[in-house]
């Protein structure tokens, strides 16, 4: 029951927000994650590397989807 309610809420929210806005938000989050990972790599290489990988994945994924 709770699963259906959460699905309905996400469907309504994603239906109201245009795809371009979601792509921009994902790209900005990816850029921020990459920047934070680059600054943290001196303290913890594992966390910094993970943040950089996630950020690059988000940015490249957003650009690859927008090229279609």
User: Within a domain: residue 46?
Assistant: yes
pLDDT in tens, 21-64: 888 999 999 999 999 999 999 999 999 999 999 999 999 998 88
User: Within a domain: residue 54?
Assistant: yes
User: Within a domain: residue 8?
Assistant: no
- Residues of the domain holding 30: 18-66
User: Within a domain: residue 57?
Assistant: yes
Q: What does pTM read for this prediction?
A: 0.75
User: Within a domain: residue 4?
Assistant: no
| Domains contained in the chain, number | 1
CA distances from 48 to 25, 29, 33, 51, 60 (A): 21, 15, 9, 5, 18
């Amino acid at each position: 029951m709770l699963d259906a309610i959460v699905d309905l809420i996400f469907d309504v929210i994603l239906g109201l927000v245009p795809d371009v806005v979601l792509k921009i938000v994902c790209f900005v989050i990816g850029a921020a994650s990459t920047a934070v990972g680059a600054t943290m790599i001196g303290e913890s290489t594992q966390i910094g590397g993970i943040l950089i990988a996630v950020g690059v994945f988000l940015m490249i994924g957003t650009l690859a989807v927008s090229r279609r």
